[in-house]
Structure 1
Amino acid sequence: MAHAKVRRVVTGHGSDSKSRVVADGAVEPITSDLMPGCAIYRLWGRDERPVFPDDGSPRRAEAHYPPRDGSRFMINTIAPGELTPSPDVGLPAAWEKLERQAPGAAGAMEPDAPGMHTTDSLDYVLIVSGEVTLELDDGDQTVLRAGDVLVQNGTRHAWRNHGAEPCTIVGVAVGADRAETGFRH
């Protein structure tokens, strides 16, 4: 399945402190044979709090999920059905490639509960098209449709697309601390 490119326009401040467009171009999707039909667009991110004026140049943001003072801006397309790799996919190589493309994303996944993961982030999510089921602990499920928003507060969760069409979500993840309390993650 071919995925569209997403146009990203970035502003910044010139040496005269005036605002200007500093970048305008396409962002290629990250795809994986492990998740056929899915795509991840890493649109922007940084590992530290912003300070302005800013020249608009990309900042360090290697890991897929943000650290404490970082943030990530992404679009994800979730294919319908079970995300099962084709039998001819070389799994070790596919996992290594995913780790190179989205460092730490695979490591956040629970090996004994496919799709379930927990991140130390506050995520603001908008469902743009299609529908997706948010699964939480104990199988608790909530269906989200185009136009719905989710504020995901660092909870253990998975995305399941039980529909017939791909689902596109836009998300901003803001890094957070996780206290060692009686709450489980």
Structure 2
Amino acid sequence: MQIRRVVTGHDSEGKARVVDDGQVEPITSDLMPGCAAYRLWGRDERPIFPDDGGPHPAEAWYPPADGSRFMVNVIAPGELTPPADLDPAAARAELERRMPGAIAAMDPTDPGMHTTDSIDYVMVVSGEVTLRLEDQQTVLRTGDVLVQNGTRHAWHNHGTEPCTIVGIAVGAERG
């Protein structure tokens, strides 16, 4: 999949301008063969306009309170089986470098299960995926949307084709 990102901003006179136009490279890992994550945009604070459209700090994969993230994820079908000769420690270190904090959100005893302090707006744009909660499963298909309110969850693709989801995560506080 190729994703083109176009970013607008304001010039010094306050006029709207395209300030960036280019391809977004996928993040892949042998830990999750066939999957890809595209980090499209993010920031760690509420926006204030006018804005020049330049990138703002957004180091961690998931947003802090008042922050946001915009991403596309491709979920491969079937069980995600890493290659037999994979060095797991090196692969985790590389994934941590490319997706800071994502591994920390994962439950080490339940593969794929994770919890984030965010409200996530998700739309399935192709394929189907099963949303697994602690004791419930729901199949989402092309065109379905999910409002995920900081719950513990995992994604599983039991189909035969990759599933693509688009998500916007808005940072929240856990009480």
TM-score for both structures, normalised by structure 1: 0.94
- Where in structure 2 are the equivalents of 1:42-81 lying within 5 Å? 42-81=39-78
Alpha-carbon distance in 1 for matches of 2:88, 2:2: 26
Q: Map Cα deviations across residues 91-134 of structure 1 (whole Å, 9 max, x no partner).
A: 00000000000000011110100000000000000000000000
Deviation at 1:84, TM superposition (A): 1.6
Q: Identify the match of residue 166 of structure 1 among 159, 162, 167.
A: 162
Q: Identify the match of residue 94 of structure 2 among 93, 97, 114.
A: 97
Partner-residue secondary structure (3-state), 2:94 = helix
Q: Identify the match of residue 110 of structure 2 among 109, 113, 116.
A: 113
1:85 is aligned to 2:82: yes
What code does the residue aligned with 2:57 have? Answer: R
Q: Which residue of 1 aligns with 2:9?
A: 12
Q: Identify the match of residue 131 of structure 2 among 127, 134, 140.
A: 134
What code does the residue aligned with 2:109 have? Answer: D
Partner-residue secondary structure (3-state), 1:95 = helix
Q: Map Cα deviations across residues 42-62 of structure 1 (whole Å, 9 max, x no partner).
A: 000000000000000000001
Number of residues paired by the alignment?
Answer: 175
Alpha-carbon distance in 2 for matches of 1:125, 1:93: 31
Alpha-carbon distance in 1 for matches of 2:64, 2:142: 29
Partner-residue secondary structure (3-state), 1:100 = helix
Partner-residue secondary structure (3-state), 1:137 = coil
Q: Map Cα deviations across residues 33-89 of structure 1 (whole Å, 9 max, x no partner).
A: 000000000000000000000000000001000000100000000000111211111
Displacement over 2 Å in runs of 4+:
none
Deviation at 1:5, TM superposition (A): 2.6
Q: Which residue of 2 aligns with 1:27?
A: 24
TM-score for both structures, normalised by structure 2: 0.99
RMSD: 0.5
What code does the residue aligned with 2:147 have? Answer: V
Taking only the aligned residue pairs, the percentage that are identical comes to: 74
Q: Which residue of 2 aligns with 1:36?
A: 33
What code does the residue aligned with 1:5 have? Answer: Q
Deviation at 1:158, TM superposition (A): 0.2
Alpha-carbon distance in 1 for matches of 2:74, 2:139: 16
Alpha-carbon distance in 1 for matches of 2:85, 2:140: 33
